[in-house]
Amino acid sequence: MWFILTDCTGKPKTIEMKCYRITGGWLAILVWMIAMAVSGVGRAEAAVLTLDAKGGRQDTAGYLERLDDPDGRLDAAQAANAAEWQALPGGLSAGFTQATVWLRLTVNVDSVRTGGWMLQLGNALLDNARVYVDLPAGGWAELGDSGEDVPRRDWPVDYRSPVFEFNPATARNHVILVRLQSKNALATRLDIWPRLAFDNQSRREGLLFGLYFGFYVLLMALHALFCWFTRAPLSGLFLAYISVGVANETLSLGLVQQVTRLPVQWSDPILGVGIAIGMMLGLEMSFRILALDTLYPRLVAWVRRSTGLLAAVCSVLILLGHYGLGMPPVQAAALLLMTMLSLMAVYLLWRGWRPVRFFILAFGGFYAGMLVGFLRNLGVLPVNQITEFVSTFSGMVHMLLLSLFIIGRHERQRRANERRQAHAAAEMAQEHSLRLEHEVALRTAELRNEILSRERLEDELRASLALERRVLSEQRDFVAMVSHEFRTPLAIITASSQQLERHLEGPLEKSRTRCGNIRGAAIRLLALVDEYLTDDRMSEPRADLRLQACDLHALLDELCGEFPPGRMRCTRGEGTRWLFCDAGLLRVALRNLLANADRHAPIDTCVDILMRCADQQLCIDVGNVGEFIEPAERDRMFQKYYRGQNAQHRPGAGLGLYLVQRIAKRLKGSVALTGAGGPEPVRFSLCLPR
């Protein structure tokens, strides 16, 4: 709510991301402003102010004394002799009071200066202001009578606020008495200027006011054109909001009264009603920015009616001449509404309501400045430059942010409307396209089904082709294995049987050797057939495990007996005798591990077998001295039909380790190469669950 407190001091009141930081920043700024306002209190006791004609403005804060005259009957002499004078820490801040207030200031004039000094009161809305100075021979001389009750042509100095000429004839301590009356908030500063400095300041102030109000005039003109061409409702509300605010500001500064000679009978009612209207417009702008109508429609309607009724009653009181009765409720309502909206904004920010982010940014500092001005008008904070001008910058920023928000919001809505229209056109085109697509879909349904059936047939053909290629590859590998591995044992059997047939009467030892060769070749053939049949059995999808209690010690003893005595060296750990598993598959796996170690171990070495328990598994480690296995070959050792470089010149079909791995997985276990040969043994570890 903008320009709510502008009538009370005659100075500009309000020309003013994860959003918690913005809220905390505004609170920190508010605390800082109050602390600075309170800290600039001046001296605890009134002292003598030495006037400096060569300097600029001299602030009388800390040098003033105050006397309250409830009935307004004291003259200058009686007021000067009163005993109730109290030192003021800063400017005068008496709030709304019907009493007459006297100010006393003692100044030291060290030498008589040409042009003298100017005594300036900061509040342009004082009803009556009279200044007296003591005479050397005793008594008091009146320097002038000013204020809204005095016609402007009779003011001692033509200025927007009361100003008095002080041109002492002698160099000494002078006592100055200021008699003040006002139905507005009685808050003002008293500044003393050298005459030349005051004239220069007046010209600078005129330029600043021109720039200051020129900014608002330009902003209002811009939004008037914007409202005319766009018919945006929020732009019209903002135009009324800023127009009423600027009108209130010019009246509170006394600029309108100075230029037009508008009497107080008109200026005060216009200002009071304008402040009440500004409160309503500010409240409506806050509701629109926060979009509270969508969240709490009943609460918003009740607040609108209550605030409107209060503003109407207070406006009637002001128009009837009871300004002191009509304005305090408006300002109290303004403070209450600012507090309510601030608490609502914090709550909605916690709830994640998006519009509240801009509200905190645009209204946070503005409310802080308004609160400082309100506390100053009620006499809680002293009157100084900080409390008088703190709301100026916040008001300008507030209005600028609102202007940008309104224009940006209209642009976003315009783009949204364009998108909706484009979307509607796209929907119409889409509906037409859908009708065409439906007709095309009906006509192409059979073709699509035909394509799907052909795709399924192609997939089946691809799967059959892949299966055929895999079977053909396995057949080639099997034929190569058979042609290589079966040929050698068969050749041995054939050659040994021919020698036996030719030399039936030969030595018995040679016959036994030939029989042993035949037996070894037959065992090798049987092992190859057993490996192939085992692989074929495990390829059956419904092959069941034949689980039973297996005596591992007896099984290893039996398998070790198939090799020359002393070739296998077995070490049995504790608890390694029994295992519940498929004994047939385990036999094939262990026999392949032992045969693989025997095939690659030198003749004069032993194959070490270690049975151990590890956690919940039983592990069988088979190790032998062997050549170093390259790292590139270690991952391929368990592939079907794969034979490494170290096995190229040794018998084997490339099925042994492949079968060991398949059997280990089938029995819920694992097999791994744990030793790579060279300086360490080649070691395979078969681990099965106990």
What's the pLDDT at 654? 62
Whether 450 maps to a domain, the answer reads no
172 with 308, same domain? no
CA 2 from centroid of its chain's CA atoms: 31
Q: Is the pLDDT of residue 18 over 70?
A: no
Q: Does a structural domain hold residue 512?
A: no
Q: Taking residues 324-345, report their average pLDDT.
A: 85
Give pLDDT, residue 33: 47
Report whether pLDDT(668) > 80: yes
Scored b (16 or more CB within 10 A) or e, 204-236 reads: eeeeeeeebbeebeebbeebeebbeebebebbb
> Is the domain of 117 the same as that of 249?
no
Give the pLDDT score at 129.
93
Which of 27-31, 54-58, 327-331, 561-565 shows the lowest mean pLDDT across its residues?
27-31
Residues 26-50: pLDDT tens digits? 445 545 444 444 444 444 456 888 8
Average pLDDT, the chain: 79
Distances (CA, A) of 594 to 597, 599, 623: 5, 8, 9
- What would the pLDDT profile of 478-503 be if each residue is shown by its tens digit? 565 555 556 566 667 777 777 766 66
pTM flag (> 0.75): no
**Predicted local confidence at residue 476, as pLDDT:** 66
CATH code, domain carrying 672 = 3.30.565.10
Q: What is the pLDDT of residues 573-585, one digit of tens each?
A: 888 888 888 888 8
Give the mean pLDDT of 154-177.
89
| Residue 538 resides in a domain | no
pLDDT tens profile 113-158? 777 888 999 888 888 999 999 988 888 999 989 988 888 888 998 8
CATH number for 93: 2.60.40.2380
Mark whether 196 and 288 lie in a shared domain. no
298 — pLDDT class (breaks 50, 70, 90): very high
Report which of residues 93 and 336 the model is more confident about.
336
pLDDT for the residue 13:
34
**For residue 210, is it within any domain?**
no
Whether the predicted pLDDT of 678 surpasses 80: no
Looking at the structure, tell me whether residues 568 and 665 fall in a common domain: yes
Query: Of the candidates 495, 539, 523, which has an alpha carbon nearest to the alpha carbon of residue 591?
Result: 523
pLDDT at 573: 82
Q: Which two tokens stand for residue 200?
A: 């220069």
What is the average per-residue pLDDT within 499-511?
Answer: 70
**Whether residues 178 and 309 fall in one domain:** no
- 191 and 253 share one domain: no
| pLDDT for 94 | 79
Which structural domain range is residue 234 located in?
20-40+215-412
Residues 118 and 244 placed together within one structural domain of the fold: no
Pairwise pLDDT comparison (217 vs 478), residue with the higher score: 217
Residue 179 and residue 257 in one domain: no
Rounded CA-CA distance 607/623 in Å is 6
19, 83, 106, 411, 451 from 43: Cα distances, Å: 41, 20, 14, 55, 99
57 and 33 in a common domain? no
Residue with tokens 């904004």: 345
* pLDDT at residue 164 tops 90: yes
Average pLDDT score over residue span 458-474: 80
Is 476 a domain residue?
no
In this predicted model, what pLDDT tens digit does every residue of 404-454 receive, in sequence order?
888 888 888 888 888 888 888 888 888 888 888 888 888 888 888 888 888
pLDDT of residue 39: 44
Q: Is there a domain that residue 534 lies in?
A: no
pLDDT for residue 313 = 92
Domain edge (last residue) among 412, 428, 452: 412
DSSP category for residue 536: H
Structure token pair of residue 529: 């057939």
Domain of residue 250, CATH code: 1.20.1070
Q: Is 581 helix (H, G, I), strand (E, B) or coil?
A: strand
**pLDDT for res 402:** 84
Domain-embedded: residue 367: yes
> Tell me, what amino acid is at 204?
R
Cα gap 624→150, rounded to integer Å: 123
High-pLDDT (> 90) share of the chain, %: 7
Q: Are 43 and 89 in contact (CB under 8 A)?
A: yes
> Do 48 and 63 form a contact (C-beta atoms < 8 A)?
yes
Question: Does residue 157 sit in the same domain as residue 222?
Answer: no
Per the CB < 8 A criterion, the answer to whether 379 and 95 are in contact is yes
Categorize the per-residue pLDDT at 686 as very low, low, confident or very high, splitting at 50, 70 and 90. confident
Q: How far apart are alpha carbons 49 and 126 in whole angstroms?
A: 25
Alpha carbon distances (Å) from 129 to 66, 152, 469, 627: 15, 13, 114, 117
Looking at the fold, whether 151 and 255 belong to one and the same domain comes out as no
**What is the number of alpha carbons within 13 Å of residue 488 lying toward its C-beta?**
13
CA-wise closest residue to 131 among 115, 114, 147, 116: 147
Count of domains in the chain? 3
Average pLDDT over residues 669-678: 83
Report yes or no: 528 and 485 within 8 Å, Cβ to Cβ.
yes
Residue 564 contacts residue 603 (beta carbons within 8 Å): no
| 471 in any annotated domain | no
Instruction: Say whether both 100 and 170 belong to one domain.
Output: yes
Contacts of 183 (CB under 8 A, 6+ apart): 96, 98, 127, 268, 323, 324
Domain boundary among 364, 385, 412: 412
Please tell me the predicted confidence (pLDDT) of residue 306.
92
Segment 660-673 shows an average pLDDT of 85
How far apart are the C-alpha atoms of 92 and 63, rounded to whole Å?
A: 11
- Residue that finishes a domain, picked among 412, 446, 478: 412
Q: What residues form DSSP beta bridges with 582?
A: 547
